[in-house]
Chain A
Amino acid sequence: MSANVDNPVAREAAQARPEDSLLGKGMEDGVRDHFRAYVRRVRGGEMGALPAIGGLVVLFIVFGFAHDLFLSQRNMANLLTQAAPLVMLGMALVFVLLLGEIDLSAGVTFGVSMASFVRLTQPDGLAWPVALAVALGIGLAIGGFIGFFVARVGIPSFVVTLGMFLGLQGVLLVIIGDAGAYRLIPAPIKALNTSNLPVWAGWLMLIGVLALLAGVALWDRARRSAAGAPNPPLSIMLAKLAGITVVGIAAVWFLSQDRGSGAIPIRGVPIVVPVVLGFAMVATFLLDRTRYGRYLYAIGGNREAARRAGINVTAVRWTAFVLCSTVAVLAGLFYVSRVGSADAGMGREIVLSGVAAAVVGGVSLFGGRGRLVHAIIGALVIATIQNGMGLLGLPAGTVLAVSGGVLILAATVDALARRRSGGVAVT
């Protein structure tokens, strides 16, 4: 590290405080060192979303060749709206997965809250914002209930949420009753996962996202400089931003083409995209930059160490379940918006896809490792499998079997990566 005399920052640091030069902060080296360090981390088992991104590329190539409609604007927009509930559910589960816990009832939680929402907004019912508040309240209450039994009573989350999985299905049946299903009425909620932004708004969204990312990155650098800490090379940050910009422009341009089959043009970025991105950014901020987020990781890594560091472990674990269930309600909102109705089977099957999404994306089932963006990428993988195989006309049984296989494969990668990084089992 100190041998790298070609690096002006390191040289400067070495000259300023010679005795410091042996203590690398892991930031001051050149692009090549950062790349090497990255390769070392990947080989050491910290693969992050790499396998999922690779899988996504392979799936796109395979399905693109297998069916000529797969890469059409229409199907891609369709894929995004199909994936939206799964993306949201995957992100919800990240909060508990980081603790090394699981919530098997996240799907039926959105089932119960959405059944309530749809019923409450039937004609002569409540205004939809009120009903939505009630639905979120239901999610909050369910999460609080689960969290109490896991964090306070000390029952394994697997057992508590399996119980909730069964119990809430019963509640869902009671709410839906003999009607079998209820139609979704409120127009804004219907539009949420069925309509598109105007073309100009799609571009505006892209500019907003890029400006925010660049602004945060520059602010970070300024803060680090002010504290006297070295910054990683500017070129790395610029390359990352450039990559996101290129992908973003391509995606927005692609979705801005007319994909309608009739006289009325259909174009624009689906409305769910900015909603999901907005949530992902806020929640990533929470996980990366606040004590609450750091403590989720710490508890997932070593609960006893977290406790000794003075962290209120019970409160953090409890609230993680509240967050998971509440965000799951939003996943349900995307789901009913797309389907247009609420029925008694809602959310029963999607929960394992949600877990699969997070794990496929690189969130560890053992806790302490993973990011929200992993859940997004993983959900896109699962949704792509379902979408592509559906296009090819494969039977539902095959789709289920393949999805299950992918989950086990991802969990295997997770377990092997964990072994390689030298982690030990922490209960």
Chain B
Amino acid sequence: MAHPPIIELRAVTKSFGPVDVLKGVDFAAHAGRVTALVGDNGAGKSTLIKGLAGVQPYDGGDVLFGGEPVRLDHPRDAAKHGIEVVYQDLALCDNLDIVQNMFLGREERRLGTFEEGQMEVEAAAALQSLSVKTVKSLRQKVSSLSGGQRQTVAIARAVVKQASVVILDEPTAALGVAQTAQVLALVRRLADHGVAVIMISHNLQDVFEVADDVSVLYLGTMTARIEVANTTREDVVGYITGTKTMEAVA
């Protein structure tokens, strides 16, 4: 980890009423690397991600983007910095086609009307950059796609506008074996393009297959931040369940 992280959290906190969900969490993600965020249910993974997405701002602590302190108070702030979130329940509109979904909320326009041709070309380029070749027509409705294809579109949606940080929430949770392999390969390519990928996962097999770094949340504190190459599955399980601890290796 020679390069400085593209996005860094320092001692962020978040409480809901009397419940402290994040108790001063440090976290970082680096360009070109896949950082897995693991932890048991209720550890604070979703809260951490919602803060990064600007959906639910943190109460305290610092967010550094490219070394500069920034505020993420609104999804617009996140989008401005190129932070894209691919949600678990695939935030796609079934009744729209692939191009329309990829550009939803940020359509290319001229004189107030859509540049459909330009969007098609850019969508194709985005899918191309992820080496996606299984899409028959960019103009087919998302309702006609399989689960893996939908996940692909959702990820491509995140990169079509040159994202710098892509957050994937359980990208393989609903997929079969072959499709999981496809999506993991996609995640790897995303990082190879210089994107900082943050992947939430319950599946340690996925984590060890694709991630470079792993960060473990346990009851609102970061119990481990370590390179995947320097740890074992048993250790990570230990950090997740709280039976094993280590001082942060930042």
Whether the pair A310, B75 counts as a contact (CB closer than 8 A) is: yes
In the complex, what's the smallest C-beta–C-beta distance from B140 to chain A, in angstroms?
A: 6
Point out the residues of chain A lying under 8 angstroms from B133, CB to CB. Answer: 22-23
Point out the residues of chain A lying under 8 angstroms from B65, CB to CB. Answer: none
Point out the residues of chain A lying under 8 angstroms from B144, CB to CB. Answer: 44, 421-422
Point out the residues of chain A lying under 8 angstroms from B40, CB to CB. Answer: none
B83-118: CB near A (< 8 Å → 1, else 0) gives: 001010101111111001000111101101111111
Whether the pair B121, A298 counts as a contact (CB closer than 8 A) is: no
- Residue pairs across A and B with Cβ atoms less than 8 A apart, 28 shown, are A23-B132, A23-B138, A24-B135, A24-B138, A25-B139, A26-B97, A26-B136, A27-B120, A220-B116, A227-B117, A227-B120, A285-B113, A289-B113, A290-B113, A294-B107, A294-B114, A297-B95, A298-B93, A301-B94, A301-B96, A304-B91, A308-B75, A308-B91, A309-B106, A311-B105, A422-B143, A422-B144, A423-B95
**Given A227-B115, A305-B104, does the pair A297, B93 have CB atoms closer than 8 Å?**
yes
Whether the pair B139, A27 counts as a contact (CB closer than 8 A) is: yes
Interface size on A, residues (CB 8 A): 44
- Give the 4 A-B residue pairs with the shortest CB-CB distance, closest first: A26-B137, A26-B139, A309-B105, A227-B117
Whether the pair A294, B95 counts as a contact (CB closer than 8 A) is: no
How far is it, in angstroms, between the C-alpha of A227 and the C-alpha of B115 when the chains are bound?
8
Whether the pair B93, A302 counts as a contact (CB closer than 8 A) is: yes
Whether the pair A229, B120 counts as a contact (CB closer than 8 A) is: yes
Point out the residues of chain B lying under 8 angstroms from A308, CB to CB. Answer: 75, 85, 87, 91
In the complex, what's the smallest C-beta–C-beta distance from A88 to chain B, in angstroms?
A: 25
In the complex, what's the smallest C-beta–C-beta distance from A169 to chain B, in angstroms?
A: 35
Which one of B79, B87, B114, B127 lies within 8 Å of A289 (CB-CB)?
B114
- Asked if A223 is at the interface (CB within 8 A of a chain B CB), the reply is yes
Interface size on B, residues (CB 8 A): 43
**Given A23-B138, A24-B138, A25-B137, does the pair A298, B104 have CB atoms closer than 8 Å?**
yes
How far is it, in angstroms, between the C-alpha of A200 and the C-alpha of B13 when the chains are bound?
75
How far is it, in angstroms, between the C-alpha of A109 and the C-alpha of B196 when the chains are bound?
54
Whether the pair A309, B128 counts as a contact (CB closer than 8 A) is: no
Which one of A23, A220, A305, A421 lies within 8 Å of B143 (CB-CB)?
A421
- Asked if A397 is at the interface (CB within 8 A of a chain B CB), the reply is no
- Asked if A368 is at the interface (CB within 8 A of a chain B CB), the reply is yes
Which one of B105, B118, B138 lies within 8 Å of A26 (CB-CB)?
B138
In the complex, what's the smallest C-beta–C-beta distance from A317 to chain B, in angstroms?
A: 15
In the complex, what's the smallest C-beta–C-beta distance from B7 to chain A, in angstroms?
A: 20
A213-245: CB near B (< 8 Å → 1, else 0) gives: 000000010011111110000000000000000
A332-361: CB near B (< 8 Å → 1, else 0) gives: 000000000000000000000000000000
Point out the residues of chain A lying under 8 angstroms from B115, CB to CB. Answer: 223, 227
Interface residues of B in 136-172 (CB under 8 A from A): 136-141, 143-144
How far is it, in angstroms, between the C-alpha of A44 and the C-alpha of B94 when the chains are bound?
14
In the complex, what's the smallest C-beta–C-beta distance from A383 to chain B, in angstroms?
A: 28
- Asked if A1 is at the interface (CB within 8 A of a chain B CB), the reply is yes
Which one of A46, A291, A297 lies within 8 Å of B109 (CB-CB)?
A291
Which one of A228, A301, A424 lies within 8 Å of B117 (CB-CB)?
A228
Point out the residues of chain B lying under 8 angstroms from A297, CB to CB. Answer: 93, 95-96
How far is it, in angstroms, between the C-alpha of A46 and the C-alpha of B140 when the chains are bound?
11
Which one of B97, B109, B135 lies within 8 Å of A23 (CB-CB)?
B135
- Asked if B71 is at the interface (CB within 8 A of a chain A CB), the reply is no
How far is it, in angstroms, between the C-alpha of A311 and the C-alpha of B127 when the chains are bound?
24
- Asked if B233 is at the interface (CB within 8 A of a chain A CB), the reply is no
Whether the pair A24, B137 counts as a contact (CB closer than 8 A) is: yes
Whether the pair A229, B121 counts as a contact (CB closer than 8 A) is: yes
In the complex, what's the smallest C-beta–C-beta distance from A82 to chain B, in angstroms?
A: 33
How far is it, in angstroms, between the C-alpha of A4 and the C-alpha of B116 when the chains are bound?
24
How far is it, in angstroms, between the C-alpha of A27 and the C-alpha of B116 when the chains are bound?
12
Point out the residues of chain A lying under 8 angstroms from B87, CB to CB. Answer: 308
Whether the pair A23, B127 counts as a contact (CB closer than 8 A) is: yes
Whether the pair A226, B117 counts as a contact (CB closer than 8 A) is: yes
Point out the residues of chain B lying under 8 angstroms from A310, CB to CB. Answer: 75-76, 79, 105-106
Complex: chain B residue closest to A298, CB-CB: B93
Whether the pair A291, B107 counts as a contact (CB closer than 8 A) is: yes
Point out the residues of chain B lying under 8 angstroms from A24, CB to CB. Answer: 135-138
How far is it, in angstroms, between the C-alpha of A248 and the C-alpha of B143 when the chains are bound?
36
In the complex, what's the smallest C-beta–C-beta distance from B49 to chain A, in angstroms?
A: 13
How far is it, in angstroms, between the C-alpha of A290 and the C-alpha of B112 when the chains are bound?
6
Candidate in B96, B104, B109 with the most chain A CB atoms within 10 angstroms:
B104
In the complex, what's the smallest C-beta–C-beta distance from B74 to chain A, in angstroms?
A: 9
